Amino acid sequence: MKGVFITIEGPDGAGKTTQIQGVTAFLQEKNIPFLSTREPGGDAIGTKIRELLLDPANGDMTPKTEAFLYAADRAQHVEQVILPALRKGVWVICDRFVDSQLAYQGAGRQLGQEDFLLPLNKLATDGLEPDVTFLLLVEAEEGLARVTETRGDSPDRMEREKIEFHERVCDGYRALAAENPERIVTLNGRNPIEEIQREIRNRLKPFLEK
Ligand SMILES: Nc1ncnc2c1ncn2[C@@H]1O[C@H](COP(=O)(O)OP(=O)(O)O)[C@@H](O)[C@H]1O
Ligand SMILES: [Mg+2]
């Protein structure tokens, strides 16, 4: 495995898409081959799974079904997109990965981690873990406000969840950061965009030297 695997995490509206744009510009400047992708929906099959997951009409979806669908998308994405790229030496930057599942289905939906989500994701990813994860944190309410402010279309099935759900997700992310200090770089999503980007680039420098 030669490429570097970077993931970006955080609640809706934390600034993931914004920061990924900066990272791809940085990698371009450095002439590093990269692939920018996302979950759910990293390939054609994943896009169909994404539609199922985010369609507000699917309000009856059970938490377990939701977890299996995210994991199915991830299995497809890892095998078909992420691993082939990394093996070729291409860096992969992924908007959401296993940490999203632990925060949203673990903390948010309160599904078991040890007995369910961790084994499920180990199967889905074949044990692949990011080299580094950038976690952007804002309060749930602020993130949602940013999302509603900027988008024209109506909120998706996850965004429609009540605020308590989104607060549990944020707590879940904070717990993950505390448990994985080596891998997860926590960034204050309320800082200016350029300041956050500077910190991300600094953290990527050691990987450039390898
Ligand atoms: N650090 C920041 N400070 C203030 N606003 C931000 C910041 N980062 C992103 N935004 C704005 O918040 C909104 C959501 O950002 P986005 O990158 O789409 O978040 P995400 O992909 O995490 O949902 C956008 O309008 C974006 O311009
Ligand atoms: Mg986004």
What pLDDT is recorded for position 152? 73
What pLDDT is recorded for position 63? 98
Quote the ligand 1 centre to 82 CA distance (angstroms): 25
pLDDT tens per residue across span 186-201: 999 999 999 999 999 9
What pLDDT is recorded for position 20? 98
**Please, what sign has the CA dihedral across residues 128, 109, 158, 11?**
negative
Task: Specify the residue with its C-alpha closest to ligand 1, atom 10.
Answer: 15
Ligand 1, residues 12, 146, 153: which to mutate, most atoms within 8 A of Cβ? 146
197-202 long-range contacts (CB < 8 A, ≥24 apart) are: 197/19, 197/22, 197/23, 200/19, 200/22, 200/23, 200/134, 201/22, 201/23, 201/26
Whole-number Å distance between alpha carbons of 118 and 124: 10
Model pTM? 0.97
Map out the domains of the chain as residue ranges: 5-208
Looking at the chain, the whole-number percentage of residues with pLDDT higher than 70 is 100
Q: Which CATH architecture has domain 5-208?
A: 3-Layer(aba) Sandwich (3.40)
Count of alpha carbons within 13 angstroms of residue 89, beta-carbon side: 5
Radius of gyration of the chain (CA): 16
pLDDT tens per residue across span 37-58: 999 999 999 999 999 999 999 9
Considering only CA atoms, which of 29, 30, 24 is closest in space to residue 8?
A: 24
Who's near 67: CB < 8 A, 6+ residues apart? 101, 105, 109, 111, 116, 117, 120
